[in-house]
Chain A
Amino acid sequence: MAHLLALFFPPSVLRPAELATDAGILLGGAAIVAWLTWRRRWAWLWREWITTVDHKKIGIMYLLFAIVGLMRGGVDALMIRTQLAMPNNTFLGAEHYNEVFTTHGTTMVFFMAMPFIFALFNIAIPLMIGARDVAFPKLNAISFWLFAFAFLLFNMSFLVGGSPNAGWTAYAPLTELHFNPGVGENYYLIALQITGIGTIATGVNFLVTILRLRAKGMTLMKMPLFAWSALITSSLVIFAFPALTIALALTMLDRLFGSTFFTIAHGGMPMMYVNLFWIWGHPEVYILVVPAFGIFSEVVATFSRKRLFGYTAMVGSLIAISLLSYGVWVHHFFTMGAGAAVNAFFGISTMLIAIPTGVKVFNWILTMWGGRIRMTVAMLWQLAFIPTFVIGGATGVMLAVVPGDYQFHNSYFLIAHFHNVLIGGVVFGLFSGLYYWWPKMFGWMLNERQGKWAFWFFLIGFWVTFFPQYLLGLKGMTRRIYVYPPGLGWSTLNLVSTIGAFAMGAGFIILVYSILYSWRHRQPDLTGDPWDGRTLEWSLPSPAPEYNFAVLPRADARDAWWEMKRSGSCGKVSAVAVGPIEMPRRSAVPFLLGLSFFVAGFGAVFSFWTIALFGMAGVIALLLSGWFDEHDHHEIPAEEIRRSQAALGRFES
Chain B
Amino acid sequence: MNARAPEASRPNLPLEFQDPRESLGILGFWFFLASDVVLFSCLFAVYAVYHGRVAAGPTPFQVFDLGPVLTETLLLLTSSFTCGLAIFMMRRGSTRGLSVWLLVTLLLGMAFVGMEVHEFAGDILRFGTWHKSAFLSSFFTLVGTHGGHVSFGVLWAAALVVRLWRQGLTPGTARRVYTFSLYWHFLDIIWIFIFTAVYLSGKIT
B contacts, CB < 8 Å to A: 1-6, 24-25, 27-28, 31-32, 34-36, 38-39, 42-43, 45-46, 49-50, 53-57, 129-135, 137-138, 140-141, 155-156, 159-160, 162-163, 166-167, 170, 172, 176
Contacts and interface: CB of A to CB of B under 8 A. Distances in A.
A170 interface: no
Contacts of A246: 39, 42-43, 46
A581 B3 contact: yes
A117 to B, nearest CB: 18
Nearest to A200: B35
Given A250-B141, A627-B156, A266 B1 contact: no
Contacts of B141: 250, 253, 259, 261
Nearest to B159: A627
User: Would you list the 3 A-B pairs with minimal beta carbon distance, nearest first?
Assistant: A267-B53, A242-B39, A132-B3
Classify the secondary structure of A's interface with B.
helix
Contact of B24 (A135, A243, A253, A276): A135
Nearest to B130: A259
Contact of A267 (B42, B54, B162): B54
Interface in A204-220: 204-205, 207-209, 211-213
B63 to A, nearest CB: 14
Interface string A267-296: 111001000100100000000000000000
Contacts of A518: none
Contacts, number: 150
B132 A243 contact: no
Interface in A498-540: none
A268 B130 contact: no
B159 A261 contact: no
A240 B24 CA distance: 23
B176 A579 contact: no
A138 B12 CA distance: 29
Contact of B42 (A213, A276, A580, A584): A276
A204 B131 contact: no
A188 B28 CA distance: 29
Contact of A628 (B24, B34, B42, B159): B159
A137 interface: yes
A620 B156 CA distance: 10
A40 interface: no
A3 interface: no
Contact of B176 (A209, A584, A627, A633): A627
A276 B156 CA distance: 30
- Residue among A204, A213, A628 with most chain B CB within 10 A: A204
Interface string A553-595: 0000000000000000000000000011111100000000000
A203 B38 CA distance: 14
Nearest to A140: B1
A613 to B, nearest CB: 15
A269 B1 contact: no
A638 to B, nearest CB: 11
